[in-house]
A and B are shown apart, each in its own frame.
Chain A
Amino acid sequence: MEIKVRLSQVGVVAAFILLWQLLPTYNIVNRYILVPFTQVIASYPELMNPANPVVPGGLLFQLQATLFEVAVAFGLSATIGVVVGFLLGHYRLVGSIYEPLLYLFYAVPGAVLYPPIFLLFGVGVQSKIAIALILGLFPMIINTATGVRNVKHSYIKLANSLGVKGSQMMTKVVIPAAAPYIMSGLRLSLSFVLVGVIFGELIASTQGLGWAIESASNTFHIDMMYALILVVVLVALLLLLILTAVERRLIRYA
């Protein structure tokens, strides 16, 4: 049964790639707009070459630049988010003051952040990290706060009867109980950070995968553009898969 599902999934991807190849090849779609799959793959060797004029430094260099921004932004938003989320969830008064405000801002399209942040930080890595960090913070804080607040009362009552106090209550009861929420906060946060970084690079940057995509597009190297987009897709998939694997390891009971 499981095998059937897997095979079907592989089949869907294969069909997609087939369409990607056949539609432009047979001129059903303009082959300069939708570059055939094989041609896209063929552009990778040149992309990898650090000396290539479209993407200076080569694919690996740009990839590393983007990954760096993602790693820093995600790491920061995860740690700050968990701490702030815990405080908001644990201290009812503080939570009731700040959380509704948080929800309000959560609804604002992140794009409005770009102009002021670029003015403030310029086009270097800091601006991308700043935006991605802010975007990633919201789901992290909100999810953590919800998780902390929703810890079953019976867990707390039981711990009280066993003499658990203060920091032990936090580390041995509240955080593990809130873990599923924190994990889903991490997943959301990662997605938002990825969007923030790539978008930021697309708009105003001197390096990174997003910038490379822009560069390839502007110089009409559409095959390279798709090749780079594919890399972004694969990176996102891989990161999310890693997170899911970690989640399954830690939360195998739920």
Chain B
Amino acid sequence: MPPVIRVVDVSKEYMASKGALKVVDDANLDVEKGAFVTLIGPSGCGKSTLLNMIGGLISPTTGTIYIDDEEVKGPKPDKIAMVFQDPSLYPWRTVQKNVEFGLEVRGVPQSERKSRASKYLKLVGLEAFSHYYPTQISGGMQQRVSVARALALEPEVLLMDEPFGALDEQSRISLGAELTEIWRKTGKTIVFVTHSLLEAANLATHVAVMSARPGSIIDFFSIEAEWPRFPEDPEIVEARKRMWSHINLQSIKQAETLSTADNDNVPR
């Protein structure tokens, strides 16, 4: 079975006034169907850029990305849905209407929109809040709505860019466990960007480690452990050690280059 996501020799370079800034350099990644891949690396290494390219929001300077053997040329909401660090719920819509938004845009009829929205709100445990407005619910709840919104599109792939980054530790842990449940129930393929080694180890079937900017994939390994996983489990400890050995090295390298590099042109 060919991999669902194939990133082939992808680079991203931005033109800035003081010259070119290469953010991603020759990245290669294969993600198989049903995998949960966490993408981790030092700060500023290009993880989000890479994720945005897989999602079709940014186009690579060189190289190609394939989803189901089809080249990614722009967003494809019926195949790929994204969840960002900022839940970005529209404050003028209720929770339910926010979840329906993606479907509304695609012309899905009213009754089906409603039933899908209900279904996925139930899955994230927020059906009771369907008629609340985003300002009336907590950050963690907003993020769960954002996940429901992505799932409502019934995509094959879920791309998540530090979705729990703005939340407190306890919410991160419980939402992480919920996400694992949802992943097992729905069989989606997930690529999850995070800064947290523990989170990466807890959630992943496979870990992709990125080098410092310009980022490429310097390690890719699997974690065989069953769920529930605990921080003291040997496989988890091993995984974190392996991640840290790379990232530590990369951070040191990055610090050396940063002291000589031009920092005014990091694009956002």
Which residues of chain B are within 8 angstroms of A172 by Cβ–Cβ distance? 101, 104-105
Which of B92, B104, B134 is the most central at the interface, judged by chain A CB atoms within 10 Å of its CB? Answer: B92
Q: Are A176 and B105 in contact (CB under 8 A)?
A: no
Report the interface size class on chain B.
20 to 34
Which residues of chain A are within 8 angstroms of B75 by Cβ–Cβ distance? 160-163
Instruction: Tell me, yes or no, whether B214 is within 8 Å of chain A by CB.
Output: no
Interface of A is mostly: helix
Stretch of B21-29, B81-89, B167-175 with 4 or more beta carbons under 8 angstroms from chain A: B81-89
Interface of B is mostly: loop
Q: Are A162 and B92 in contact (CB under 8 A)?
A: no
Q: Nearest-CB distance from A98 to chain B (Å)?
A: 27
Q: Nearest-CB distance from B204 to chain A (Å)?
A: 23
Which residues of chain B are within 8 angstroms of A155 by Cβ–Cβ distance? 88, 90
- CA–CA, A254 to B153, complex, Å? 27
Instruction: Tell me, yes or no, whether B60 is within 8 Å of chain A by CB.
Output: no
Instruction: Tell me, yes or no, whether A23 is within 8 Å of chain B by CB.
Output: no
Given known A253-B91, A254-B91, contact A163–B133 (CB-CB < 8 A): no
Q: Are B86 and A164 in contact (CB under 8 A)?
A: no
Name B104-119 residues within 8 Å CB distance of A.
104-106
Q: Are A163 and B106 in contact (CB under 8 A)?
A: yes
Chain B residue with the shortest CB-CB distance to A250: B92
Chain A residue with the shortest CB-CB distance to B153: A162
Q: Are A157 and B77 in contact (CB under 8 A)?
A: no
Q: Are A157 and B57 in contact (CB under 8 A)?
A: yes
The one of A158, A176, A251, A253 that contacts B88, using a Cβ cutoff of 8 Å? A158
Which residues of chain A are within 8 angstroms of B92 by Cβ–Cβ distance? 176-177, 179, 251, 253
Q: Nearest-CB distance from B250 to chain A (Å)?
A: 27
Which residues of chain B are within 8 angstroms of A152 by Cβ–Cβ distance? 88
Chain B residue with the shortest CB-CB distance to A173: B90
Which residues of chain A are within 8 angstroms of B184 by Cβ–Cβ distance? none
Name B94-149 residues within 8 Å CB distance of A.
101-102, 104-106, 133-135
Chain A 160-203: CB-based contact to B (< 8 A → 1; otherwise 0): 11111000100011001101000000000000000000000000
Instruction: Tell me, yes or no, whether A154 is within 8 Å of chain B by CB.
Output: yes
CB contacts between A and B, total, < 8 Å: 54
Instruction: Tell me, yes or no, whether B215 is within 8 Å of chain A by CB.
Output: no
Which residues of chain A are within 8 angstroms of B241 by Cβ–Cβ distance? none
The one of B86, B101, B105 that contacts A154, using a Cβ cutoff of 8 Å? B86
Which residues of chain B are within 8 angstroms of A163 by Cβ–Cβ distance? 75-77, 102, 105-106
Which residues of chain A are within 8 angstroms of B41 by Cβ–Cβ distance? none
The one of B77, B91, B134 that contacts A162, using a Cβ cutoff of 8 Å? B77
Which residues of chain A are within 8 angstroms of B57 by Cβ–Cβ distance? 157, 160-161
Q: Nearest-CB distance from B244 to chain A (Å)?
A: 31
- CA–CA, A164 to B57, complex, Å? 12
Instruction: Tell me, yes or no, whether B163 is within 8 Å of chain A by CB.
Output: no
- CA–CA, A178 to B238, complex, Å? 50
- CA–CA, A30 to B157, complex, Å? 82
Chain A 109-131: CB-based contact to B (< 8 A → 1; otherwise 0): 00000000000000000000000
- CA–CA, A164 to B90, complex, Å? 14
Instruction: Tell me, yes or no, whether B46 is within 8 Å of chain A by CB.
Output: no
The one of B91, B105, B133 that contacts A168, using a Cβ cutoff of 8 Å? B105
With A172-B105, A254-B135 given, can you name 4 additional A-B contacts, CB distance below 8 Å? A154-B84, A162-B81, A162-B102, A251-B92
**Pairs A–B under 8 Å by Cβ, sample size 18:** A155-B88, A157-B57, A158-B84, A161-B55, A161-B77, A161-B82, A162-B75, A162-B77, A162-B105, A163-B75, A163-B106, A164-B105, A168-B105, A179-B92, A253-B91, A253-B133, A253-B135, A254-B91
Q: Nearest 3 pairs between A and B by C-beta?
A: A158-B88, A154-B88, A161-B82
